[in-house]
Chain A
Amino acid sequence: MRYAARKLLTLLFTMVIVSLLTFAAFSLIPGDPATARLGMDAAPEEVAALREAMGLNRPLGVRYLSWLAGFFTGDLGSSYSYSSSVSALVGQKLPATLALSLLSFSLVVLISIPLGVRSVGRAARRRTDAARTAVNQLLMALPPFFTGILLTWLFGTGLRVFGVRLQLFVPGRLPAFSVHPGGFLLYLLFPAVAVAVPRIAMTVRMLHSTLLREMNQDYVRTSISRGSDRAGVLYRHVLKNAMVPVVAFLAQTMAEVVAGSIVVEQVFSVPGLGRLLLGSIGSRDWPVVQAIVVILAFWVVLAGTVGDLIAQRLDPRLRLGGDRR
């Protein structure tokens, strides 16, 4: 309980710090929301009047505190560039990003763990090992936007390979989940793959090396010499021990896929948080940026906490009360 309370406090603290930093950054960069809205031919007097109306002339501290007060009472303010409240706007865009992130995270978990285990399952064959490492290295370096463009070109433009039309989705035409859930998920599968590929490669490599290290431990040798078969030991004992650092890494991946989604949303025209974030930075729509950044901070801290909790379940040594540093 104490642990949960402490985590919650850390979460709130992180979100406040992040929002303060965003706020500070926003007051530093050039460009003015009032000018952005009125356009280049607005008279200075009009800009001044709008700044007053938007409350931009109040001191920085007051502006931040009034936002913070709103935040704790559930009022995120209203957008500068759309006639809509921030919560409505973000609520509209959140599902797509959430779906995309969860999809790519599932891909990472479902693909990398079996692959990683397989990579040590058989006696390591040198040649395939070298080839696998090379491929892995390459995949790790693939930026999601590049994979995204490649996937769109292959499966989105109606390319014909041996007379077979490869078009699996229509870029820029994301079906609504309520109307066509299958089409929605199929569309998001491609950006999800683009985000997942480098993270899968990293997870596989990590699992590979931790598994190899565990396999050389004394208890494994003892177990095998007692007559247990190698695969049995791997699944029953080694995997559980090797998973502890991997879980921490997966928690980090959980946060990372959201960042990846934000980039990839641009390539696949997914109407999600990423496009809203970039657009809002461009139009100096501070309330929207602030809200999204806080949501992302929340997500990152949450992922870390969940990772910790799972690691504790896996490794009783980490569970020794609240005294863990």
Chain B
Amino acid sequence: MSKRIFALLLLTILLGTVLCGCGGGSAATGSEEQQTSGSAGAAVQGGEITVGIAQDLDKSLDPHLAVTAGTKEVLFNIFEGLVKPTPDDELVPAVAQSYQVSDDRKVYTFTLRDGVTFHSGEAVTADDVIYSIKRCAAAEGDKKPLVEAFSNIQAVESPDPRTVVITLSQPDNEFLSYMTTAIIPRSYANQDTAPVGTGPFKFVSRTAQDSVVLEKYDGYWGTPAYLDRVTFKIIENADALVLALQSGAVDLCTHLTSTQISQLDEAAFTVREGTMNLVQAMYLNNAAAPLNNEKVRQALCWAVDKHAVIDLVSDGHGKAIGSSMYPTLSKYFDDTLTDYYTQDPAKAKALLAEAGYPDGFDLTITVPSNYQPHMDTAQVLAEQLKAVGVNAKIKPVDWNTWVSDVYVGRNFQATVVGVDASYMNARALLERFTAGYGKNFINYSNADYDALFQKALAEGDDAKRAELYRQMEKNLTEHAANVYVQDLADLVAVRKGLDGYRFYPIYVMDLASVHYVK
């Protein structure tokens, strides 16, 4: 009896296989052709791809209101500012054709590019630019401006239809990096649900928790995108994401872990390695006992071997760092700080004894559990700390609890997370540890540090200012503000037959350069 059932089952499966094979035949041969041709061929125009992303986008798709990095990196394809970042750590004119900075660094004059249009087809005017900048600079009542650096803006004017002049109240040499702020049409109400910008791709549709679809914008002013259509597919589960890659449902996926990569078929994917551009560290609450004691913090730094963490957590992928700066911001990165502390348990114990904790102490590390790399790093750090007598316990919390308790409430001892920079400058990473700053969640308070920051803001010379920022980084390292670990590796899987993915020094995903090869 059971034999008959088994036979029936086999038959069903067989039939299913045959039927399926017929249905998907034409699509399968197409992709196989591309695979056999290798990746060194010429770029092909057209085609479509599916990109896997691990989280849904924000409620609002308005570029000025976007909150999460995962939303911003998708919107990067739809929007542009007056200038835009390049993979080589540069800012190049985009909606603007050229710009001039006055000698006192207070007046920025932008000449708009001819022929730049919104996805609606309308040409970008000086009024749109003024509207976009004023919208982000507006500070009504208690509300702070959407872009905090814009509080420095005194006036935005257009002396003629092709020119926009921005006057600042204080000199600011880094102001240009904030001009990546998206330019949006001034009379358009649905930016929330159907965003319209000037970028190489235009928005088509969004399905909650499922997908976001973009199409190539034919009226793009610059080098057009190669692909006709890009679908961002939301797959939260890490295993499901790998399976979707393996099966062909997803063609490209960024921010993968080395565990996920190791499950992929090497013949079908090219793996590119960059960095996430974030500062992963065990952030310490400098106001909470016993971490308010500098010696205790230094002891933690001496107890930890960050290279071992990188080896264990991500098979050696990832760049060790020693302060709040990552290597791709090469102008500001100081590699001598990376190994300022090396693992030395004896020294750590001695420092703990000096501080009055010869037998160590209990440490709670709060970690957002949805970020596996941070959880893994916390595990390894906890073990390393145990070796010097610090009894570290990991407290996993979900993301929203982390934001309200740790980041906003500052009610924690230590936490392992990655901190990123939204704009391409050192200020974005370093200002947050100045004493009065609203986002100084580690309660770092150091008068020298604050003084250096004020000097850096006022410094006109590029090289001198970079030097001041490097001194700030050194200050953080010397006073052991945090236990710095690494800039996580960003592993990107690209299906064979596709090429052109480029890494940026900030957290974005540029699909305009991605193309099929012949």
A-side residues, CB < 8 A to B, are 29-32, 35-46, 49, 79-84, 89, 92-93, 118, 121-122, 149, 152-153, 156-158, 164-173, 183, 186, 266-269, 271, 275-276, 278-279, 282-284
Hey, which chain B residues are within 8 Å of A152, CB to CB?
Answer: 240, 243, 247
Q: Do B20 and A43 touch (CB < 8 A)?
A: no
Q: Which residue of A lies closest to B211 (CB)?
A: A271
Which B residues between 166 and 214 are near A, CB-CB below 8 angstroms? Answer: 192-193, 207-210
Q: Which residue of B lies closest to A32 (CB)?
A: B404
Q: Which residue of B lies closest to A279 (CB)?
A: B209
Hey, which chain A residues are within 8 Å of B249, CB to CB?
Answer: 170-173
Q: Do B247 and A118 touch (CB < 8 A)?
A: no
Which among A40, A158, A167 has the highest number of chain B CB atoms within 10 Å? A40
Hey, which chain A residues are within 8 Å of B246, CB to CB?
Answer: 156-158, 171
Hey, which chain B residues are within 8 Å of A267, CB to CB?
Answer: 237, 239-240
Q: Do B403 and A275 touch (CB < 8 A)?
A: no
Contact status of A36 and B400, CB under 8 A, knowing A82-B59, A171-B244, A172-B243? yes
Hey, which chain B residues are within 8 Å of A278, CB to CB?
Answer: 236
Which B residues between 201 and 259 are near A, CB-CB below 8 angstroms? Answer: 207-210, 233, 235-237, 239-241, 243-244, 246-250
Given contacts A40-B403, A82-B59, A269-B235, 6 further A-B contacts (CB under 8 A): A43-B143, A80-B59, A153-B243, A170-B249, A172-B247, A271-B210
Least distance between A181 CB and chain B CB atoms (Å): 13
Which B residues between 1 and 22 are near A, CB-CB below 8 angstroms? Answer: 1-2, 13, 16-17, 20-21
Q: Do B247 and A157 touch (CB < 8 A)?
A: yes
Q: How far is the CA of A82 from the CA of B60 in the complex (A)?
A: 8
Q: How many interface contacts (CB-CB < 8 Å) are there between A and B?
A: 148
Is B100's beta carbon under 8 Å from chain A? no
Contact status of A172 and B235, CB under 8 A, knowing A157-B246, A271-B210, A284-B400? yes
Q: Do A31 and B239 touch (CB < 8 A)?
A: no
Contact status of A186 and B400, CB under 8 A, knowing A157-B247, A172-B235? no
Hey, which chain B residues are within 8 Å of A171, CB to CB?
Answer: 240, 243-244, 246-247, 249
Least distance between A160 CB and chain B CB atoms (Å): 11
Least distance between A37 CB and chain B CB atoms (Å): 6
Q: Do B404 and A31 touch (CB < 8 A)?
A: yes
Q: Mark B392-412, 1 if CB is under 8 A from A, else 0.
A: 000001111101110110000
Is B120's beta carbon under 8 Å from chain A? no
Hey, which chain B residues are within 8 Å of A169, CB to CB?
Answer: 20
Is B56's beta carbon under 8 Å from chain A? yes
Q: Do B142 and A45 touch (CB < 8 A)?
A: yes
Q: Mark B131-164, 1 if CB is under 8 A from A, else 0.
A: 0000000000011100000000000000000000
- 22 sample A-B contacts, Cβ–Cβ < 8 Å, listed by A number: A30-B404, A31-B401, A31-B404, A35-B400, A41-B67, A43-B142, A46-B143, A80-B59, A83-B193, A92-B207, A152-B240, A152-B247, A156-B247, A157-B243, A158-B246, A158-B247, A166-B17, A171-B249, A172-B52, A172-B247, A268-B240, A279-B56
Q: How far is the CA of A186 from the CA of B405 in the complex (A)?
A: 45
